Structure 1
Amino acid sequence: MTPAHWGALAGGCLALGVLLSGSRIHALRRPQLRLRVLPYVRDLPTATGSSPAVVATRGVVGPALAAAASTVERLVGGSASVRRRLQRAGLDRSVHEFRIEQVIWGVVAFGAAAAYGVLRSLSDPGAVVSSAVLSCLAFVGGVLARDHHLTSQVKQRERQILAEFPTLAELLALAVAAGESPVGALDRVVRRSGGVLSQDLAQVLADVRTGDPVGPAFDRMASASGLPLVSRFAQGIAVAIERGTPLADVLHAQAADVREAGRRELIEVAARREVLMMVPVVFLVLPVTVLFALWPGVVGLHLTTP
């Protein structure tokens, strides 16, 4: 082939590559159906698709992770407790998916311990057995650490709910007192607020809009919540709607109860940590004060002593 033919072939390949790349970019930039429909369905969460790399990785290691998660489930147990904590933490995943996360945490801890064991065995060949035992213990520690992290997620979410509850209850009370219906007040508060409790109220609003009565929707929120204050709030709204009790007064009273409970909890925490608050005073402030009081006298004695 002549150089002209080689040039034409290379130019054709280049043009074909540019054409394929442009068509693929155009297809990727085209809005998908779910992205065009979901913004108009306000009560449904926006779905996020996984990247091709994540899908491929899940397809390769997914069966092994699923088998390991089933083994952890048989050894650890406690599916009811895990399901309850996942619900209270607001995590939209099943118990099996949580077990897979536990296995991943364990594998990461095992890998870190194994890497340390390899580096240690290079200088001390007799430490292979202890390194293997350490790696197994690291795997168990990673599995238990994910469970402990779930408990901390539950506690953090409950603290956020307690912090947001008085404000949202007052907003609901103001909206109802201004003439809004319970569903209208709930819609107004959900659209103008953001937070953990607002997400739970948005779920209640979605249930109501799908045809469920307001009372049973709040009853489900009360049963799903692990906080007695939120349970009383949901049950109070359900009872007020069913029996015709003034809803604004109920909401104001519950917001005041939550604020008072927060003050009592703050006082109790301060009383329990009173000894800890004395530690910097006794071990830092007091020695410095004594040093400032005695040091000039000590220096004076050294200067006047012959």
Structure 2
Amino acid sequence: MSAVSAAACAVILGAAFAAGALLIAQRIPRWAAPNLTRRIAPYLRDVADPAGLTPLQPAVAWRGWRSARDRLAAGWGGGASGDALAQRLRQAGLAPDVVAFRATQLGWAVAGLAIGGVLAVVLTVSGRGGLIAVLLPPLLAVIAIVLCEQRLTARARRRIARLEEELPTVLEFLALCLAAGEGLRDALRRVGDVGSGVLTEELRAAVLASGTGSNLSDALLALGKNADSPALSRAIEHLVAAMDRGAPLAQVLQEQAVDAREDAKRALIESAGRKEILMLLPTRWACI
């Protein structure tokens, strides 16, 4: 047995021993006295923990890992890149917590590193190791980081695309409610209650923000800024300008709905032009 094969076997045996030791340690009862939070939790359940008793604190090693992970994620997600990431998280419908996303991304990287290590050990034991076995763990870690990033970007794009698809219908429904004599806040609330799409969800959040102390115009402008959709931002800016000038809101919304439909038609034609060759493939296969 060569030295590399012996090292691979040692890694396998060490990993198996560590897994067994951790499983045994998890089953050992906790003999230490509960901390202060655990002792007073039953008397403060309605205030501090409505769901029940506070769970036991994690182990010291797990707390150390979480602390190190959060510090690394906080340093990784700062600056202008952190602002751009927070914007993408809002577009994807997630909480704009950059540190939490970087921590998830770091977890993906550790998982990729572990999978790469296992594959490298398997390749080494089977006698096909070498440079690929050395490069496989960091390569899989980088791939995991990129996949996590691309997954968020794709989710944000899909959500913005659905929002832009729903925009003409929502604007027309708002114009209909306003023409029937309802106020703008009531019309927005009605659309949020009736609809079930992405845009109606954002409108519900804007109405809730306006009902808890924020101005309706500011809530709508914040909605357009967070969505980062040109069609929605343009419609909201025209709506806010009409509110400030006292112009008829129903007519403004109807015009913006027409513009949004024209933009959607133009985007569809441009997409068909970019995919013209791909659209010919089914015809080619049918001829064959």
With the shorter chain as reference, the TM-score category is 0.7 to 0.9
Structure 1 partner of 2:122: 119
TM-score normalised by the chain length of structure 2: 0.74
Structure 2 partner of 1:157: 159
From 96, 109, 113, the equivalent of 1:110 is 113
Structure 2 partner of 1:62: 66
**How many residue pairs are counted as aligned between the two chains?**
242
Structure 2 partner of 1:250: 252
Tell me, which stretches of 5 or more residues in structure 1 are unaligned? Answer: 1-30, 37-47, 289-306
Match of 2:121, as an amino acid? V
TM-score normalised by the chain length of structure 1: 0.70
Output aligned runs, 1:128-277, within 5 Å: 129-277=131-279
From 61, 82, 89, the equivalent of 1:79 is 82
| Aligned-partner Cα distance in 2 for 1:140–1:188 | 47
Match of 1:64, as an amino acid? A
1:126 deviates by 4.3
The question of whether the paired residues in 1 share the 8 Å contact of 2:86 and 2:98 is answered with yes
Tell me, which stretches of 5 or more residues in structure 2 are unaligned? Answer: 1-44
State the structure with more CA Rg: 1
1:229 deviates by 0.7
The question of whether the paired residues in 2 share the 8 Å contact of 1:214 and 1:238 is answered with no
| Aligned-partner Cα distance in 1 for 2:58–2:170 | 43
The question of whether the paired residues in 1 share the 8 Å contact of 2:116 and 2:136 is answered with yes
1:73 deviates by 4.2
Aligned-partner SS, 2:181: coil
Q: Deviations over 1:195-251 (max 9, x none)?
A: 211121112111211232222222222222211111011112211111111111111
The question of whether the paired residues in 1 share the 8 Å contact of 2:123 and 2:129 is answered with no
Aligned-partner SS, 1:138: helix
| Aligned-partner Cα distance in 2 for 1:105–1:194 | 32
1:122 deviates by 0.9
1:34 deviates by 9.9
1:71 deviates by 5.8
| Aligned-partner Cα distance in 2 for 1:78–1:207 | 27
The question of whether the paired residues in 2 share the 8 Å contact of 1:89 and 1:154 is answered with yes
| Aligned-partner Cα distance in 1 for 2:86–2:58 | 28
Structure 2 partner of 1:299: none
Does the C-alpha gap of structure 1 residues 121 and 88 become closer, same or farther in structure 2, counting only changes over 3 Å? Answer: same
| Aligned-partner Cα distance in 1 for 2:134–2:236 | 52
Aligned-partner SS, 1:230: helix
| Aligned-partner Cα distance in 2 for 1:262–1:52 | 51
The question of whether the paired residues in 2 share the 8 Å contact of 1:215 and 1:242 is answered with no
Q: CA RMSD in A?
A: 3.0
Q: Percent identity between the aligned chains?
A: 30
